[in-house]
Amino acid sequence: MRGEDSPEAAAYGERVRECGSAEVGGSGASQPPPAPPHFGTVHRLLRTAPPAAAQPWLVTRLAKADRMIDLGWAIAALWGVMRMVGALVITSSTGDHHPALFLDPLLILLLAYGLYRRSRVCAGLLLAYVAVELWLAYHAAGRPAGIGVALILELAFLTGLRGAVLYHNLMPRSAC
């Protein structure tokens, strides 16, 4: 549902009428509120929406933080699934069933879920986990072949960490 008759548009219009024109940047000059970026998007499961009385600039910044978090957790989930498939292939090809092979992907998927829930701790642990794995691989094999992939993972998790920190820094200032 996208347009002027959607419930999101009605709620946004109500917030603009309640808050008036929001001052931006403390300069005293008021600017018209921008259109919220969340029109037409699906509400995310187990994640809270911005407060109903939030100013439009805050809704925009929170949406930006959510996009950064979404990048981080989606890459982490993909990485965890790929590691799980690798563990399954190793287990099926060798015939040995070592539960320790599944701890690594399980940890990654749990940390991805924590990042999805906007946890700064999980975002930091994901970033540290990739950094430690990269360091261990570099010292064990000289220059590992997958260093480019590991650096991309680090950048994605750093973006997720930045989004989680930004989200938590903005949330206390949600009053209209």
Q: Where are the domains of the chain?
A: 7-28+40-173
Residue 63: the pLDDT is 87
Euclidean distance between CA atoms 173 and 176, whole angstroms: 9
pLDDT in tens, 96-153: 888 888 999 999 999 999 999 999 999 999 999 988 988 887 888 777 777 788 888 8
Read off the pTM: 0.68
What's the CA gap between 157 and 109, in Å, rounded? 13
* Alpha helix ranges (H) inside the chain: 7-19, 56-94, 103-116, 120-141, 147-170
Is the pLDDT confidence value at 18 over 90?
Answer: no
Q: Please provide the average confidence, as pLDDT, over all residues in the chain.
A: 78
- Residue 56's pLDDT is what? 84
Per the CB < 8 A criterion, the answer to whether 53 and 18 are in contact is yes
